[in-house]
Amino acid sequence: MPVTRRAGKRRSTDGLDQWFFVFSSGHDFFDELADLGIETEAYHCPSMEDAESAWRRLGDAFLEIPRHPEQGEP
């Protein structure tokens, strides 16, 4: 009987580049979230629902990004 292939269990990190500054500072300074179709308010902050769902999907990958020693933990 042939072996059935399973989908990989690793999560996709698509969109991490666009969410990087939001996770770092809380603001989308360069309007990169518009590429993902996410609206921001006048101060370039996404809604809490959008940010929470993105953090649940991308938070682990964001925390694995190496940082400068003087920068501290995110």
- Residue ranges per structural domain of the chain: 16-63
Residues 66, 73: Cα–Cα separation, whole Å: 10
Q: What is the pLDDT of residues 24-51, one digit of tens each?
A: 889 999 999 998 999 999 999 999 999 9
* CA dist list (Å): 47 to 6, 21, 34, 41, 62: 34, 15, 13, 8, 19
Residue 69: per-residue pLDDT: 82
3-state DSSP assignment of residue 57: helix
More confident residue, 68 or 50: 50
> Is the pLDDT reported for residue 10 higher than 60?
no
Residue 48: per-residue pLDDT: 95
Structure tokens at 30: 């360069």
Partner residues linked to 46 by β-bridges:
40
* Mean pLDDT (the chain, rounded): 86
